[in-house]
Chain A
Amino acid sequence: MDVTALPFNRFLGLEKGASESGLLVSLPPSPQYMNHVGSVHASALLAVAEAGSAEFLLRHFGDVAGYVPVVRRLEAKFRKSARGRVSARASVEGDALNRLSWGLRTKGRALIEVSVEVVDEGGMVVLSGVVEWFIARAATTA
């Protein structure tokens, strides 16, 4: 699965980040994402943040076929004005990924909180937040 190939992300123009950079997805600079004052609009930053958290989970789990992931909660703090390309990086605390795997294996569902930061082209953190995902095994028909 490719996060950037999802219809909304394709519509938005989201790109995958280079794997060695630690940046998961990014949005290239474009006048259509700008405020009248030349910084990136909050709406675009929110989309990058959520897509970054999704890409983080995909990179750790690979194929999500057979599972339904949905966002349950999103918290965002807007820290600075964003300039140019904006990119997301993400992380989870401790053994959260192991607990997610265990929950999916034993219960067929689990929650995970992904911390995400969006940085601009100057490396400034412009948004920090948490995206909570609920992942459940897809219902099967007999």
Chain B
Amino acid sequence: MTAAPRTWATERLDEIVNGPVTILPPVIQALRLGGLDEWGIGWIKKRWQPHPDLLNVDGSLFGGYIAALADQALAFAAMTVVPADRVFRTINLNVNFIRVGRAHPLAIEAVVVAQTRQMLTVRATLKREDGELIAEASAQQTLQSNGEVRRRHGEAGPNNALEPTA
């Protein structure tokens, strides 16, 4: 088994797996997206328990929220392989909702399915604990040098790039 290279991203993933929820960025805490349970090169896993505040009156989960969960998982997967001198930016995200999500825990997994010098392609599944698929998602993320991102965006980075946002 190949050990994961030490990068800003993999160090951050270890912090998230081993640290308290308070190390997550404020936006992640506010949205109650939670942290991460396990990761390896090219994959991540997490279990997520919905909070009652997040459910619709009929007990279903808001689709935009499932998309946010998927986006986070896809970003985590990217972080397992992003080179040390690079950051990534999600440029597109597609989510297919298969079944209505409800107040049950979700098993979320994401994998990197392709990697080039400039692009990552990642996929995620969100399943109930009995294995029923709730949603599947895919995204593409461009890889850029940190300096390039700063030049293009001034002091502001893209919406979900860079390590502390995950």
Q: Do A and B make up one complex?
A: yes
On A, residues with C-beta under 8 Å from B are: 6-9, 11-12, 31-51, 70-78, 81-83, 126-127, 131
Known contacts A34-B26, A35-B160, A43-B72, A8 near B155 by CB under 8 Å? no
* B-chain residues with CB within 8 Å of residue A70 when the two chains form the complex: 60, 63, 97, 100
Q: Is the pair A41, B64 in contact by a Cβ cutoff of 8 Å?
A: no
Residue of A nearest to B89 (CB): A78
B30 at the binding interface (Cβ < 8 Å): yes
Q: Is the CB of B157 within 8 A of A81?
A: yes
Instruction: Tell me the minimal C-beta distance from B80 to chain A in angstroms.
Output: 19
- A7 and B89 form a contact (CB under 8 A): no
A-contact bits for B116-133, CB 8 A (1 contact / 0 none): 000000000000000000
The stretch of B2-10, B50-58, B107-115 that contacts the partner chain: B50-58
> How many angstroms between the C-alpha atoms of A116 and B110 in the bound complex?
26
Query: Judging by beta carbons under 8 Å apart, are B97 and A73 in contact?
Result: yes
Number of interface residues of B (CB under 8 A): 42
Interface residues of B (CB under 8 A from A): 25-31, 33, 53-57, 60, 62-65, 67-68, 71-72, 89-97, 100, 153, 155-160, 162, 164-165
Main secondary structure of the interface of B (DSSP, over half): mixed
Assembled-state Cα–Cα distance A8/B27 (Å): 15
Q: Are A6 and B90 in contact (CB under 8 A)?
A: no
27 contacts between A and B (CB under 8 A): A6-B57, A6-B62, A8-B56, A12-B31, A32-B27, A32-B29, A32-B30, A35-B159, A35-B162, A36-B164, A38-B155, A39-B153, A39-B156, A39-B159, A41-B159, A44-B31, A47-B62, A51-B64, A70-B60, A70-B63, A74-B64, A75-B95, A76-B93, A78-B90, A78-B158, A83-B156, A126-B159
